[in-house]
Amino acid sequence: MKKNQVNYKNFPQTTHAVMLLILLSTVAFNVALWPHYGMNSPLVLGIFFFGIILQLMLMVPVYIQNIVGFVALTFFLQQYS
């Protein structure tokens, strides 16, 4: 909207925040699955990422991703609360 090029030079704090959030979500995912899958948890993470999440990010517009994410998170909060 503001015609700014998105790169590290223009948004260093945002880049660091995204890297930290990706690291934290990866750790949380593996910690959650470790009791059931053990050493296979990183493999499950890779399969889940490349098989589902990456495909959705590439093929579905962002506004639909936001709606699906909101509905899914609301569903999971209701199920596990």
Tell me the pLDDT tens digit for each residue of 31-72: 999 999 999 999 988 888 888 877 878 898 989 989 988 998
Residue 1 located in a structural domain: no
pTM more than 0.85: no
Residue 32 belongs to a domain: yes
Buried b (16+ CB within 10 A) or exposed e, 32-43: ebeeeeeeebee
Number of domains in the chain: 1
- Give 8's pLDDT tier (boundaries 50, 70, 90): confident
Q: pLDDT at position 74, please? A: 94
Residue 6 covered by a domain: no
4 falls within a domain: no
